[in-house]
Amino acid sequence: MSAPVVAVLDYGSGNVHSAVKALQEAGADARLTSDRAFAQAADGLVVPGVGAFAHVAEALRDQRADEVIDRRLAGGRKVLGICVGMQVLFERGVERGVGAEGLGQWPGVVTELDAPVLPHMGWDTVEAAPDSVLFRGIEHERFYFVHSYGAQKWDLEIAKGFPHPKLTWAEHGSRFLAAVEFGPLSATQFHPEKSGQAGIRMLSNWIDSLGATTL
């Protein structure tokens, strides 16, 4: 059986090659691409992100990557955001008092953590959602974080009878979302590609949830 094809979105963000390498180690046929048609057709799409919220959101829109994400999700095709690639999935981000519009897949605002030391940099445990797919078998492992901002609450109310999101939390001064799994859209605030074997296992769990096609 062929490995699932995973497109890693190349829109000018840093650290993309380490993400490709980690996905390949985790069992994916991972390819770095700025081709929207390829990103649309792949079994999985990874949206990395390093730097400022506003810059990442603007760069994604400039590449029309927001349209690719929308179309994939409308068709139930899986997307994984990483670090700022998670943050921009929310409606808005505020950094140093300046607000910027996110991609709006989830309601809420990304704000600075209330912590004595920033950035939050290093290895930390998470409070994994009980039914998490991403953290299956690695619920008590440590993951690598580098950030000063995060989503510190979940604002989306789910109507009765509909599936609820799987929310994973961590804490640095204040409590923040370390990962979200909601339908075909998942994201992590930490860097799985920098999290050693625990990160590879997390990526493998996500890859195992994808179907495989030939591209």
196 in any annotated domain: yes
Cβ neighbours, 10 Å, residue 164: 10
75 in any annotated domain: yes
The per-residue pLDDT for 72 is 97
What is the spatial distance between Cα 183 and Cα 138, in angstroms, rounded to a whole number? 21
Is the model's pLDDT at 63 over the cut of 90? yes
Q: Which amino acid is at 8?
A: V
78 in any annotated domain: yes
174 in any annotated domain: yes
- Domain boundaries, position 185: 5-208
Mean of the pLDDT values across residues 205-209? 97
The full 3-state SS of the chain, as one line of letters, equals: CCCCEEEEECCCCCCHHHHHHHHHHCCCEEEEECCHHHHHHCCEEEECCCCCHHHHHHHHHHCCHHHHHHHHHHCCCEEEEECHHHHCCEEEEEECCEEEECCCCEEEEEEECCCCCCCEEEEEECECCCCCCCCCCCCCCEEEEEECEEECCCCCCCCCCCCCCEEEEEEECEEEEEEEEECCEEEECCEHHHCHHHHHHHHHHHHHCCCCCCC
Is the model's pLDDT at 184 over the cut of 60? yes
Q: Is 191 a catalytic residue?
A: yes
Max distance between CA atoms of the chain, in angstroms, equals: 50
Going by pLDDT thresholds of 50, 70 and 90, the confidence category of residue 1 is low
Catalytic residue among 83, 112, 172, 181: 83
State the total domains in the chain: 1
The per-residue pLDDT for 212 is 52
Q: The domain spanning residue 102 has which CATH number?
A: 3.40.50.880
Q: Is 83 a catalytic residue?
A: yes
Pair of tokens at residue 92: 């808005």
- As a whole-number percent, the residues of the chain with pLDDT over 90 amount to 88
Q: What's the mean per-residue pLDDT of the chain?
A: 94
Catalytic residue among 120, 147, 172, 191: 191
Mean of the pLDDT values across residues 72-89? 97
67 in any annotated domain: yes
215 in any annotated domain: no
Q: What pLDDT, in 10s, does the model give residues 18-52?
A: 999 999 999 999 999 999 999 999 999 999 999 99
213 in any annotated domain: no
49 in any annotated domain: yes
Catalytic residue among 112, 141, 181, 193: 193
The per-residue pLDDT for 83 is 97
Q: Is 147 a catalytic residue?
A: no
* In the block, residue with structure tokens 């810059």: 55
Is the model's pLDDT at 175 over the cut of 80? yes
